[in-house]
């Protein structure tokens, strides 16, 4: 693939949000659409979510994550969406330049008429919830373990405790059980489930995996590898209740304690973030406060259903395509201003005709030969005169000017070029 200099819509991230935006941008008429993905393949987080439960809203089918992703991968490629894999976007500028580092192309610079941010989210880690204890190996986020088990084929441990009753944690409890591991306990600090009830039923209840509410990890034991975790009950204020401590021997602790939108790029370009969601403020077309920069999916707020991410992606893709098409129309709005009869040169050499909708444009010119009598400076489109001005004389040593005004816009809009002539009256 030959990378273009400029794309109508560039989408950062190829999860369901990004792919939906790409598909919809194409359908809305954007010609050059590019998806940039740091992973080696398209699909985003869905590729590691091999369990069912996707697509009920959109396809009315119960699909595994990879199947759901595959449909959008196939559709976007069929529509001619271009992709740049193994490429991480480093920075986006308010002028919509994208700087990225690519395995294949090295450092790349791409211009976008519109951008869709679809970088998804990342998981909260041990450091973010400050679990006391030693620092052994064997503490993973549930999503990391999911990637190990489902994509890379590596079991991260044998005996697990899972902290957090989020969906990813419960789904991993079942998955690890399928692979022969023992899940000793799932702990939830809140008095209620933080994931979906259906996941409680089919992931924990079905396999007799015990879940304890209002319990959390108090201390992690282990020199090189996790050897045990000490757990305890907490009150409403999350204070440990003395005497409820219990030591659970295990070799791995998984954390399923929340997701945060991934907004480093957004922040750098000046996209305003909502402190409540952690994602950009967006309007109904999913446009952020930076014109031409749109956002959709988990980067905006954390969704529990990929189907809804897809729907948000459609909105963003549509908005981005409209924005890009309007810009493209303006770009083709540039027409040349030629030096005609007895004119040495004209500045500016080209104009954006849409500027005339609002503002006037002054053309500056020098003549080739003097005319020591009343003369006419005329701007025409090859057939029709648009504006003329009478001056007392013209001399090469003295610059002349003529103005195009908003009232000339109707005539100029139809023109594909302008020519300036100077002749005796």
Partner 1 sequence: MVEKRKLICISCPVGCELTVTLDGDNILEVEDNACKLGLDYAQQEIFDPKRMVATSVKVKNGFHPLVPVYTEHPIPKPMIKDVLAEVRKVEIEAPVDFNQIVIENVLDTGVNIIASRNMPKV
Strand partners, 219: 230
What are 295's two structure tokens?
């956002």
Q: Which of 85, 129, 273, 305 binds ligand FAD (CB under 6 A)?
A: 305
CB of 158 to partner 1, least distance (A): 17
* Residue among 8, 24, 37, 378 that touches ligand FAD (CB under 6 A): 37
Q: Which is nearer to partner 1, 66 or 370 (CB)?
A: 66
**At its nearest, how many Å lie between partner 1 and the CB of residue 186?**
17
Least CB distance from residue 353 to ligand FAD, whole Å? Answer: 37
| Cβ–Cβ < 8 Å for 371, 322 | no
Vertex 154 angle, CA 153 and 155, to 5°? 125
Report, in Å, the least distance between residue 310 CB and ligand FAD: 8
Work out what residue 297 binds among ligand FAD, partner 1, none; the CB cut-off runs from 5 to 8 Å by kind.
ligand FAD
Query: What binding mask, one character per residue, do residues 234-263 give for ligand FAD by CB under 6 A, x or -?
Result: -------------------------x--x-
What does the block give as tokens for 169? 């944690």
CA pair distance 335, 352, nearest whole angstrom: 7
Q: CB neighbours of 366 closer than 8 A, spacing ≥ 6?
A: 343, 344, 345, 396, 399, 400
Give the CA radius of gyration of the chain: 31
Q: What residue ranges bind partner 1 (CB under 8 A)?
A: 41, 43, 47, 50-53, 56, 62-67, 69-70, 74, 150-153, 178, 196-198, 200-202, 206, 304-305
Q: Among ligand FAD, partner 1, none, what binds residue 197 when CB lies within 5 to 8 Å by partner kind?
A: partner 1
Which residue, 266 or 400, has its beta carbon nearer to ligand FAD? 266
Q: Which helix (H) or strand (E) holds 163?
A: strand 159-163
408 alpha carbon, distance to own chain's centre: 41
Q: What is the 3-state secondary structure (H, E, C) of 85-143?
A: CCEEEEEECCCCEEEEEECCCEEEEEEEEEEEECCCEEECCHHHHCCCECCCECEEEHH
Q: Are strands 375-380 and 334-339 parallel, antiparallel or unpaired?
A: unpaired
| Residue 117 in the binding site for ligand FAD (CB under 6 A) | no
Angle 73-31-292 (CA atoms, 0-180°, nearest 5)? 90
How many residues bind ligand FAD (CB under 6 A)? The answer is: 39
Q: Which does 164 bind (CB under 5 to 8 A by kind): ligand FAD, partner 1, none?
A: none
User: 123-182: which residues touch ligand FAD (CB under 6 A)?
Assistant: 143, 146, 167-168, 171
Told to check if 279 binds ligand FAD by CB under 6 A, we report no
Site residues (CB under 6 A) for ligand FAD? 12-18, 36-39, 44-46, 49, 51, 53-54, 88-89, 118-120, 143, 146, 167-168, 171, 259, 262, 265, 297-299, 303-306, 309
């Amino acid at each position: 693939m030959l990378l273009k200099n400029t794309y109508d819509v560039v989408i950062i991230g190829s999860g369901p949000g990004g792919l939906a935006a790409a598909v919809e941008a194409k359908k809305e008429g954007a010609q050059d659409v590019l998806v940039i993905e740091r992973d080696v393949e398209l699909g985003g987080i869905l590729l590691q979510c091999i369990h069912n439960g996707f697509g009920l809203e959109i396809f009315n089918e119960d699909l595994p994550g990879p199947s759901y992703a595959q449909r959008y991968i196939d559709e976007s490629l069929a529509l001619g969406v271009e992709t740049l894999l193994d490429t991480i976007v480093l920075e986006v500028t308010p002028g919509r330049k994208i700087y990225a580092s690519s395995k294949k192309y090295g450092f790349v610079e791409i211009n976008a008429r519109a951008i869709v941010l679809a970088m998804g989210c990342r998981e909260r880690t041990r450091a973010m919830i400050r679990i006391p204890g030693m620092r052994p190996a064997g503490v993973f986020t549930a999503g990391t373990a999911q990637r190990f088990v489902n994509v890379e084929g590596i079991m991260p441990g044998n005996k697990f405790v899972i902290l957090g009753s989020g969906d990813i944690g419960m789904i991993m409890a079942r998955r690890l059980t399928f692979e022969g591991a023992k899940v000793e306990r799932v702990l939830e600090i809140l008095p209620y489930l933080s994931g979906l009830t259906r996941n409680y039923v089919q992931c924990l209840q079905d396999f007799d995996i015990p879940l304890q509410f209002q319990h959390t990890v108090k201390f992690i034991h282990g020199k090189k590898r996790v050897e045990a975790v000490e757990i305890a009950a907490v009150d409403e204020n999350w204070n440990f209740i003395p005497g409820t401590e219990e030591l659970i021997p295990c070799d791995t602790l998984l954390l399923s304690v929340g997701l945060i939108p991934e907004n480093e790029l957004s922040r750098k370009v000046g996209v305003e973030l909502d402190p409540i969601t952690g994602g950009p403020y967006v309007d109904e077309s999913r446009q952020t406060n930076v014109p031409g920069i749109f956002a959709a999916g988990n980067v905006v707020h954390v969704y529990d259903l990929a189907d809804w991410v897809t729907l948000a992606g459609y909105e963003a893709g549509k908005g981005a395509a409209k924005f890009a098409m309007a810009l493209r129309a303006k770009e083709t709005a540039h027409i040349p201003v030629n030096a005609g009869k007895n004119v040495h040169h004209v500045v500016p050499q080209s104009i954006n005709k849409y500027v005339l909708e609002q503002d006037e444009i002054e053309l500056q010119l020098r003549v080739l030969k003097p005319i020591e009598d009343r003369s006419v400076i005329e701007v025409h489109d090859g057939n029709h005169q648009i504006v003329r001005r009478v001056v007392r004389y013209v001399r090469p040593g003295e610059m002349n000017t003529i103005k195009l005004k908003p009232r000339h816009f109707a005539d100029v809009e139809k023109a594909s070029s302008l020519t300036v002539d100077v002749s005796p009256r």
